[in-house]
Amino acid sequence: MLKINQLHKSYPIGDSSLHVLKGIDLTVDEGEMVAIMGSSGSGKSTLLNIIGMLDEADEGEYILDGLPIKNLTEKKAAVYRNKFLGFIFQSFNLINYKTALENVALPLYYQGMKRKERLEKALFHLEKVGLANWSHHLPKELSGGQKQRVAIARALAANPKLLLADEPTGALDTKTSYDIMAFIQQLNDEGKTILMVTHEEDIANMCKRIVRLRDGVIMEDKKVEQVRAEQYV
Amino acid sequence: MFKFLFDRDTWQEVFDSLSKNKLRSALTMVGVWWGILLLIGLLGSARGLENSFNRLFGDFATNSVFFMGSTTSMPFKGFQEGRRVQLKIPDIKKVEENVEGIEFVVPRNMNLGTVNRNLLSGTFNVFGDFPTLDEVQKKKLIHGRFINQNDIDNRKKVAVISKNIYEQLFEKDEQAVGTRIEINNISYMVIGLFDVGNVNFGPSEDVHIPFTTFQQVYNQGDKIGFMMITGKPEYDITQIQKDTELILKNLNNVHPEDTRGFRSFNLGKEFGKITGFLTGMQFLTWFVGIATLIAGVFAIGNILLITVKERTKEIGVRRALGATPFEIKRQIVVEAVFLTLVAGILGIITGGWILILLDHFFGQGDDAAIVNASVSIGVVFIALIILVILGSLIGLIPAFKATSIKPIEALREE
């Protein structure tokens, strides 16, 4: 599904440069649920951004679903992001003047899907996250948990191969966090490959595999016994 | 390529993002709205002024020139300088035959006369005229008729009088046509009453009598006081003036380079000054209007630039969800064009209202300062096209700004 070989990335800071990723090797198979952990500055977000094609590596190989991701034009990157990836952000990043339904339909709009078809499909995904009744509400009328559900529905709308979540529970209280995690686990049960960045141990333990980063290298990569979130809900 | 313009989604996106901040969108449009309002208002008023000038001068054949004899300043062919030059009837025919592009040559005579009626009297300018005068200088007849060929042939004692005389010598509401007046103790029948126009060149015209009658009564012989020449529309009146002057000098033994032998007054030239002024005013109007419009469009670009800055995160999200840079740029440009167009159309409508108001307050009656203030549909279309072009050009600036930020940086922004 995803194969990374000797990935390097550094950022220029003034005259010198900061070496953030120092040779990462990572392979993720289909259906896996991986937590990337590490203190701030460990390079976990940079790694996720590179995987999400929002950023480009300086060196190394990145193959997504058999497709080498290298020297993409902005346009091509946009098409790949739309086709292969679903993003879930810590701060939800819903467009605040669009209703829940329209937010979910947005990736489909950029696929060029017809309005009617797109809204039907978006409604189907909203139903799946249990928010069909809230489809015509604006983000400001929704609670934090509901917003993240809308964001998940949006990430799922284009039926991506890989879900990328950057601290998906970072802005939520514990109860809502477990609620969201239960849902993400359910998606994984259905076969979606999920990669998430978190720094919370309890959240990481709800994944099937934990990759720990420190100072730009992988310290530890282990499979764990998945803690089901439902039991806390 | 332009298929997206007919896509409901494009407009939904534009409408959503503009209606999200109604106040800002409205303020953005004020500049362009004001610019086009000024353009329409000024152009319409300029046109109204032009129309009113045209109405004032409409009675004159504007491609005409006056000639009268004067005193020579150079000796020629045995004549000494300081000789009085007198135009004569045969000169008319020579000028008509030899100068190219002449439409009419109208000889005229003028004298001061005492006009009596019953016990009232006054001193007025009396002109001896041919019927052709009416062709070059349309008389606004209120009653009766102008001099005709029959009057000329029979040297009739008839007079066409101005409203000015009528007001001094007649009672209010009295019928003038058909009554008799005395000019220098000779009785004339009043056959017409005319209104004087707003604009007059030369001495005021009070009484017209037949040219032949004038000749006889004042013992003029062949003499002509002055002549009015009108050129055919396709000929240059200044050239006609030169040609005529040369022929007249030749006929009257005046040195070709003598500048004093004849006096002439080129009405076309004077009229050209006024129309030149009007053209200048139109140019100024366009200049001011377009400049204001450009300033307005820049204001739109400026505010969109700020908007883009504010929407950095939204643009980042859209790009993460698969929007290509082109789609982002296109949306911002469409927003810019949409704003300019809506503002422009509103400006055209309010500009139209202003012209209606101007017409209502200043455009009524015969001596209105502004007549039929209006702009042509063509001008409106040109203005709209300019707006679309400027709008898209100015929209490109924020559009490129929006996509110059990498999506990752855009998303990181809090």
Of B8, B324, B411, the CB nearest to A78: B324
Q: Any chain A CB within 8 A of the CB of B327?
A: yes
Residues of A with Cβ-Cβ distance to B335 under 8 angstroms: none
Per the CB < 8 Å rule, is A115 touching B17? no
Residue type, A176: T
Residues of A in contact with B323 (CB under 8 A): 78, 110
Q: What is the pLDDT of residues B130-183, one digit of tens each?
A: 888 887 777 788 888 888 888 888 888 898 988 888 888 888 888 888 888 888
Element (H, E) at B32: helix B22-57
Whether the per-residue pLDDT at B414 is higher than 60: the answer is no
Give per-residue pLDDT as tens, A138-148: 999 999 999 99
Q: How many residue pairs bridge chain A and chain B with CB atoms within 8 Å of each other?
A: 66
Q: Which of residues 60-99 of A touch B (CB under 8 A)?
A: 74-75, 78-79, 81-83, 87, 89, 91, 93, 95-98
Q: Is residue A64 part of a domain?
A: no
Residue A86's pLDDT is: 92
pLDDT of residue B202: 65
Chain B, nearest residue to A105 by Cα: B321
On whether any CB of chain A is under 8 Å from the CB of B322, the answer is yes
Is B320's CB within 8 Å of A97's CB?
no
- At B28, the pLDDT band (50, 70, 90 cuts) reads confident
pLDDT of residue B380: 85
pLDDT at A219: 92
pLDDT for the residue A134 = 92
Answer whether residue A157 is part of any domain: yes
How many structural domains comprise chain A? 1
CB-closest option in B322, B408, B411 to A78: B322
Q: In this predicted model, what pLDDT tens digit does every residue of A170-186 receive, in sequence order?
A: 889 999 999 999 999 99
| Rounded mean pLDDT, B208-219 | 87
Q: Any chain B CB within 8 A of the CB of A205?
A: no
Q: How confident is the model at residue A27 (pLDDT cuts 50, 70, 90)?
A: very high
User: Would you give the DSSP letter of residue B99?
Assistant: S
CA distance A106 to chain B (A): 7
Parent domain of A160: 30-48+73-232
What is the full DSSP assignment across chain A?
A: -EEEEEEEEEEEETTEEEEEEEEEEEEE-TT-EEEEE--TTSSHHHHHHHHTTSS--SEEEEEETTEE--S--HHHHHHHHHHHEEEE-TT----TTS-HHHHHHHHHHHHT--HHHHHHHHHHHHHHTT-GGGTT--GGGS-HHHHHHHHHHHHHHT--SEEEEESTTTTS-HHHHHHHHHHHHHHHHTT-EEEEE---HHHHTTSSEEEEEETTEEEEEEE-PPPPSGGG-
pLDDT band at A119 (very low <50, low <70, confident <90, very high): very high
* Across B348-372, average pLDDT: 82
Distance from B323 to chain A by nearest Cα, in Å?
6
Per-residue confidence band for B199, with pLDDT thresholds at 50, 70 and 90: low
A139 in contact with B at a CB cutoff of 8 Å? no
- pLDDT surpassing 70 at residue B300: yes
Q: Across the interface, do B323 and A158 touch by the CB < 8 Å criterion?
A: no
Contact B321 A110 (CB under 8 A): yes
Whether residue A1 is contained in a domain is answered as: no
**What is the pLDDT at residue B263?**
83
Whether residue B49 has pLDDT greater than 90 = no
Instruction: Check residues B19 and A223 and name the one with the higher pLDDT.
Output: A223
According to the model, what pLDDT value does residue A32 have? 94
Mean pLDDT over residues B191-215, rounded? Answer: 80
Q: What is the mean pLDDT of residues B333-338?
A: 88
Which of B16, B19, B319 is the closest to A78 by Cβ?
B319
Determine the residue of chain B that is closest to A52 in CA distance: B320
Q: A107 vs B17: CB contact, 8 Å cut-off?
A: no
Q: Say how far apart CA B173 and CA B291 lie, in whole Å.
A: 56
Could you give the CA distance from residue A100 to residue A153 in angstroms, rounded to a whole number?
Answer: 9
- Over 70: is that where the pLDDT of A216 sits? yes
Is residue A20 in some structural domain? no
Q: Is residue A63 part of a domain?
A: no
DSSP notation for B53-89? HHHHHTTB-SSEEEEEE-B-SS-BTTBPTTPBP-EEH
Residue scoring higher pLDDT (B133 or A191): A191
The C-alpha atoms of residue A135 and residue A166 are separated, in whole angstroms, by: 24
CB contact under 8 A, A79 and B317: no
pLDDT of residue B323 exceeding 60: yes
> Contacts of residue B8 in chain A, CB cutoff 8 Å?
115
Q: Is residue A220 part of a domain?
A: yes
Is B8 in Cβ contact with A158 (below 8 Å)?
A: no
Query: Maximum Cα–Cα distance for chain A, whole Å?
Result: 54
What separation, in Å, do the N-terminal and C-terminal C-alpha atoms of chain B show?
Answer: 35
Q: How far is B314 from chain A (nearest CA, A)?
A: 6
Q: Is residue A166 part of a domain?
A: yes
User: How close B330 gets to chain A, by Cα (Å)?
Assistant: 13
Give the mean model confidence (pLDDT) for residues B382-394: 87
Of residues A54 and B267, the one with the higher pLDDT is: A54
A29 band by pLDDT with thresholds 50, 70 and 90: very high
Interface contact flag, B322 A54, Cβ < 8 Å: no
**Which of A74, A84, A101, A102 is most worth mutating to test chain B (most B CB atoms within 10 A of its CB)?**
A74
- What CATH number should be reported for the domain holding residue A209? 3.40.50.300
Measured between CA atoms, how close is B347 to chain A, in angstroms? 28
> What is the model's pLDDT at position A117?
93
Q: Is residue A23 part of a domain?
A: no
CB–CB contact B406 A81 (8 Å):
no
- pLDDT tier for residue A122 given thresholds of 50, 70 and 90: very high
Mean pLDDT of A214-223: 91
B319 touches chain A (CB under 8 A): yes
User: CB B200: neighbour CB atoms within 10 A?
Assistant: 12
Question: Chain B, 255-314: which have a CB under 8 Å from a chain A CB?
Answer: 313-314
Residues of chain A in contact with residue B331, where contact means CB-CB under 8 angstroms, are none
Contact between chains at B321 and A107 (C-beta distance less than 8 A) = yes
Cβ-nearest to B323 among A83, A110, A115: A110
Q: How far is residue A93's CA from residue A139's CA, in Å, rounded to a whole number?
A: 10
